[in-house]
Structure 1
Amino acid sequence: MDTLTIWLFRSADGADGAAETVKGLAKNQLISVHDAATVSWPEGASKPKLRQLRNLAGRGALSGAFWGLLFGLIFLVPLLGAALGAAAGAFGGLTSDYGIDDDLIKRVRGEVTEGTSALFLLSSGAVVDKVRDAFTGENAPELIFTNLSAEQEQALRESFSMELEQQTAEAPGTGPK
């Protein structure tokens, strides 16, 4: 089963760095990447930059139209209103396969703000502990969405939170920001 995950980074360049990390993981066969896209919103920019990562896309990649419409719904609907309404209805069937709904769109819109970035990753076959280990440090991502089952999502969140707790314990005098 393909897994769609959305990872939030508290820096505008975090998602681009993560994309390079994922590329290395895929090369070492620690994850199968079917498609990926990033959104980065540099400080002072009026809108985010969107980028489909074609060099990571494998068989079964989503179309550029999928990413364009998804990002349009997330970031442009407040500006365009009903102009995208009809397209959003047609898009609904495809996005529901991955668990994308209005609540997710609102959440991503609220969390990906100026000075942050996000990695949208369609993957399968991840070796979770190896992937987790690749995303360590102060720029560790926050999982904001997955279409995994509740039990699988909880295991993934626990795996990443244990790593974050260990880093915090190892660095005296530091804590969550």
Structure 2
Amino acid sequence: MSELIVIGYDDHAVAKKAFKAVQQLRDDHVLDLNGLAVVSVDEEGETHVDTPARSEEVALSATAGALWGMVFGMLILTPGIGVVGAALGGLIGKLNQMGVDGRFRKKVQELLEPGSAAVVVMASKITEDRFATVMEPFGGTVLKTSLPEESERELAEQLAGPGAAETAA
């Protein structure tokens, strides 16, 4: 099971400090990251995404990488789009089944007003008390949902497309 945590901040500088704190928590084995980003929205409403530098990059399996990219895109990069095509509709349906429903996505999008920022964390293991203690000084608005392992697998299979399992074997 992965935890999806989005922490919203009114100040980009605070979000960047919190982002670095999450990287340190990863290095201290407080959490196992599947994905990490800091998202900022400038005064013009333009979205900017920073992920760990290549030298510090989170090692992701193909499945985790596909999941992270899809979940991140659905939460952050495609606010307000209508369902386009059956494949995207299926992915949105799977996210809803996983607990990442429209209400959660709307809350995330509300955090990302112009001039704000958020740290987005997807972790397969997290020591909650240590994470909370380290992150508390940064404040912020915390949104969290769980992604069950079985649902993650099903979503990864759906992302891979038909016949991917046969070619991988």
Given the two structures, how large is their TM-score scaled by the length of structure 1?
A: 0.65
Helix, strand or coil at the partner of 1:135: helix
Q: Please say if 1:72 is aligned against 2:77.
A: yes
Tell me the equivalent position of 1:147: 146
Amino acid aligned to 1:27: D
Tell me the equivalent position of 2:164: none
Partners of 1:58 and 1:98 in 2: CA distance: 20
Shift in Å at residue 115 of structure 1? 2.1
Amino acid aligned to 1:58: L
Shift in Å at residue 52 of structure 1? 4.1
Tell me the equivalent position of 1:85: 84
Q: Say whether the 8 Å CA contact 1:36–1:57 is kept in structure 2.
A: no
Amino acid aligned to 1:145: K
User: Within 5 A, what are the aligned runs for 1:70-149?
Assistant: 70-74=75-79, 77=80, 81-82=81-82, 85-86=84-85, 88-96=88-96, 98-137=98-137, 139-147=138-146
Q: Please say if 1:46 is aligned against 2:45.
A: yes
Gaps of 5+ in 2: 149-169
Q: Say whether the 8 Å CA contact 1:13–1:116 is kept in structure 2.
A: no
Change (3 A) 1:17 1:97: farther
Higher relative contact order (CA 8 A, sep 6+): 2
> Aligned residue pairs: how many?
141
Shift in Å at residue 38 of structure 1? 2.4
Given the two structures, how large is their TM-score scaled by the length of structure 2?
A: 0.68
Between the aligned residues of both structures, percent identity stands at: 19
Partners of 1:36 and 1:13 in 2: CA distance: 17
CA RMSD of aligned residues (A): 2.7
> Which string of whole-angstrom CA distances, capped at 9 and with x for unpartnered residues, describes residues 2-38 of structure 1?
1111111221233332221111111111111111222
Amino acid aligned to 1:49: H
- Bigger shift: residues 106-115 or 61-70: 61-70
Q: Which runs of 4+ in 1 moved over 3 A?
A: 51-54, 57-60
Partners of 1:27 and 1:47 in 2: CA distance: 31
> Which string of whole-angstrom CA distances, capped at 9 and with x for unpartnered residues, describes residues 20-73 of structure 1?
11111111111111112221123x233221234471353453337413344233
Partners of 1:14 and 1:88 in 2: CA distance: 34
Gaps of 5+ in 1: 150-177
Change (3 A) 1:40 1:125: same
Change (3 A) 1:115 1:30: same
Change (3 A) 1:17 1:56: farther
Tell me the equivalent position of 1:11: 11
Partners of 2:5 and 2:130 in 1: CA distance: 16
Amino acid aligned to 2:60: G
